[in-house]
Chains A and B, each alone.
Chain A
């Protein structure tokens, strides 16, 4: 299978005056086509920086990063990538439908395809009844659903999700997980970060554990937990591995 993401010795340092924060200290990982890759780590581990690099919002200061064999900054690469941010308070004076039309037009999607796709997406995230309502009246969970729908507007081959189930009720969480699994079955590649470790364990093919800018471990949940006491969860493994590093 083709490698969709290849990151080699990825480094990034934030500088603010004399202060330097090493967000990534030489991270290596790859994600194969059709794979669900879960990225876990405590706050400040470098997950968001990695995502920004994958989206071409930041440029790697050292190392190499490619998405579909191209630089993430290349607009052609972005044409095939969908992104859902952790938090976004979408345009309060637009309706979800108008937001999706706006993003669809940015992708250059033709009118007929766009309208058909918007209908499907609003159905998918259970927002068809609120499609004409201004988003200023939306709850956090509804905003998350809009966010998920906008990430799929270009029918992306690679989906990058930052905390996709944050703020969702249990039913919507389950639904989101099912959609992610469906997308995988359709051959889409999914890279997502989450603090919900049980969820990561449940849906990821492989998991990467990031801590203070270093990738501590990566592999399938089975591999990560292999050889450990029976019944150990990803959460206890995570707490243990992070605890050892502190």
Chain B
């Protein structure tokens, strides 16, 4: 565990010292600040718009950090040739993957926490209904979402170039919101092999939409029942475990 943490720690240090996070942070503060300023003009529904936009920004910016930081972990080790001293150390290749995954996840979770706290600040000062339980659930779902994104990116980095990895993950992120429902209904509508194919794709693709509480938080709906929170958590752990298992397997067989 100490070795895994040592690798992850290096990734976190990089986040603190690079400008990426600070640029996104300033960008978010400016955008949310500007939108909140509009509330002074009593435009109807503006605080809901701030919530909707703010939540989307938090998720998008955290997603960007998770993807960009995790995607470059292995390629940059290979490019800088630091992979060799790392492989020569007394740790398995699976632990290297776990360390890099943990680092990528931690970096995005730290960024997400900062972004989310800012969002909560704007949320609490808005005039509409508030649900702290729902905000807590939003925070948990955000972390689960970032774990899944990092695991997916880590898996892809075994097969893809850095740019292909980032593009593919972005496409899946954008597509899953609309494709997921279509896959499900087609699996139910069709029969036989076609139904099986749609069903297979539905279960194979990562359901990022499970973690999206944007509408619920924007309109301050009721908090989710606990079984939903546990089910989504279980789904995330299982999906991450499978992805990391195969990442470790492929990375372990790779010739450097």
Question: B5 to A85, Cβ gap below 8 A?
Answer: no
**When the two chains form the complex, which single residue of A78, A101, A147 contacts B89, counting CB atoms closer than 8 Å?**
A78
A88 to B10, CA, bound (A): 16
A residues in contact with B92, CB < 8 Å: 75
Residues in B neighbouring A58, C-beta threshold 8 A: 255-256
A75 to B13, Cβ gap below 8 A? Answer: no
**A89-B80 contact, Cβ under 8 Å, with A78-B90, A108-B2:** yes
Q: Are B80 and A90 in contact (CB under 8 A)?
A: yes
Partner of B90, one of A52, A79, A90, A134: A79
Contact of B191 with A by CB under 8 A:
no
In A87-134, the 8 Å CB interface with B consists of 87-91, 93-94, 98, 101-103, 105-108, 134
* A83 within 8 A of partner (CB): yes
A57 interface contact, C-beta 8 A: yes
In this complex, what residue of B is CB-closest to A54?
Answer: B88
Taking CB atoms, residues of chain B closer than 8 Å to A57 are 84, 87-88, 256
Within 8 A of A (CB), among B102-157: none
Interface residues on B, range: 20 to 34
User: Which A residues lie within 8 Å of B5 (CB)?
Assistant: 105
| Interface-central residue, A52, A105, A150, by most chain B CB under 10 Å | A105
Shortest distance in angstroms between A73's beta carbon and chain B's nearest beta carbon?
A: 10
- Closest B residue to A91 using CB positions: B10
Which secondary structure characterizes the binding site on chain B? helix
Contact residue among B7, B84, B91, B256 (Cβ-Cβ distance under 8 Å from A83)? B84
A55 within 8 A of B: yes
With A57-B84, A89-B80 in contact, do A75 and B90 touch (Cβ < 8 Å)?
Answer: yes
- Give the Cβ gap from A140 to chain B, nearest Cβ, in Å: 13
Instruction: Provide the bound-state CA to CA distance between A147 and B17, in Å.
Output: 22
**A98-B90 in contact (CB<8A):** no
List residues of chain B with CB within 8 A of the CB of A102: 6-7, 9-10
Complex: A57 Cα to B89 Cα, angstroms: 10
**B90 shortest CB reach to chain A, Å:** 4
A48 smallest CB distance to B (angstroms) = 9
The answer to whether A105 and B82 touch (CB under 8 A), given A78-B89, A91-B10, is: no
- Asked if A81 lies at the interface with its beta carbon under 8 angstroms from chain B, I say yes
Q: Shortest CB–CB separation between residue A96 and chain B, in angstroms?
A: 13
B79 cross-chain contacts in A, Cβ below 8 A: 89
| In contact, A106 and B89 (Cβ under 8 angstroms) | yes
How far does the alpha carbon of A95 sit from the alpha carbon of B196 in the complex, in Å? 54
Q: Is the CB of B14 within 8 A of A83?
A: no
A106 & B88 in contact (Cβ 8 Å cutoff): no
A76, CB-defined interface residue at 8 Å: yes
Q: List 27 A-B contacts (CB under 8 A).
A: A55-B84, A57-B87, A58-B255, A75-B92, A83-B85, A85-B81, A85-B84, A88-B82, A88-B84, A89-B79, A89-B81, A90-B80, A91-B14, A91-B80, A93-B17, A93-B18, A94-B10, A98-B10, A102-B9, A105-B2, A105-B3, A105-B5, A106-B2, A106-B91, A107-B89, A151-B85, A160-B88
Q: A105-B5, A105-B6, A106-B6 are in contact. List 16 more A-B contacts (CB 8 A).
A: A55-B84, A56-B87, A57-B84, A81-B88, A83-B84, A84-B85, A85-B84, A88-B80, A88-B82, A88-B85, A89-B79, A93-B14, A102-B7, A102-B9, A103-B89, A160-B88
What are the 6 tightest A-B residue pairs by CB atom distance, in nearest-first order?
A105-B6, A89-B80, A75-B90, A78-B90, A83-B88, A55-B88
Residues of B within 8 A of A (CB): 2-3, 5-7, 9-10, 13-14, 17-18, 79-82, 84-85, 87-92, 255-256
- Which residue numbers of A lie inside 8 Å of B, CB to CB? 52, 55-58, 75-76, 78-79, 81, 83-85, 87-91, 93-94, 98, 101-103, 105-108, 134, 147, 150-151, 160
